[in-house]
Amino acid sequence: HLVDAQSFPVETTEFSNLAGAGAYAPYLTYSSADLADIVSYATARGVRVLPEFDVPGHAYAWGLGYPNITATCPGYAANINNIPLNPCEPFTFDVLKGVIGEMAGIFPDSFFHVGGDEVVYGCWGEDTSIQQCMKDKGFASYNDLMQYFVSTNDGIVNSNHKTVIHWNDVFDEGITVPKGTVYQVWTSHTVLQQVIQAGYRAILSNSNAWYLNCGFNPGCAYISWQEMYENFIFANM
């Protein structure tokens, strides 16, 4: 995660308000030079650095700089993790095109992570402009709206000659993506098996074994080293 609901710390040339208003503090940002230094340092040590810009969910911080690109849903606003991007606002994709294009030039790896997890459809349901947009476009469900967003945004990533990585939530929701897409599975070995059987490549990082923050924040119990090492990738495959 380079960005999340709590903060947009990445400085961008075209859309400076993203970090200007969305960073946790003015001095807690990454310049393009900072990011290039991280990539260089990692490359010299045999480490690949892949950025994740998690969209359309977990997008509250994007809207601090450009309020019209996030959904308006007072009933969900108490938890900033509930706020997604607004796929019906054309400017949303202008911003995504600018950000992804700039980051694609900084991160040389052929993969680019665009998230897709934990999108709160109920927030879209409270936004009257999104409701009208769905009627205008003939979308019968929020999955249709999600499909529209994913297809459009993945096209932006592909146009920058990058392979898309999504969280497995996109797969779980039945969203259609090209077989070249990679899914990062954070939930279970069962989902990993389903993803592979469907013909996709996958990355396993299941939260009950390989989340390093567990034990340091509420709602996620400490995971021992033994549990981590016993997390066999090919279990039940």
Active-site positions read: 118
Angle between helical axes of 90-106 and 32-43 (0-180°, round to 10): 40
Distance from first CA to last CA of the chain, Å, rounded? 29
For residue 222 the two structure tokens come to 């400490």
The residues near 6 (Cβ < 8 Å, ≥ 6 apart) are 24, 60, 61, 80
The CA-CA-CA angle for residues 13, 44, 27, to 5°, reads: 35
Question: And the tokens for 30?
Answer: 């990454």
Give me the residues paired with residue 164 across strands. 112
Instruction: For the chain, state the CA radius of gyration.
Output: 18
Distance CA 184, CA 168 (A): 6
Q: In what order do the strands lie in the sheet with 111-113?
A: 111-113, 163-167, 182-185, 201-204
Question: What's the rounded Cα separation, in Å, for the pair 117 and 150?
Answer: 12
Peptide bond into 108 cis (omega under 30): no
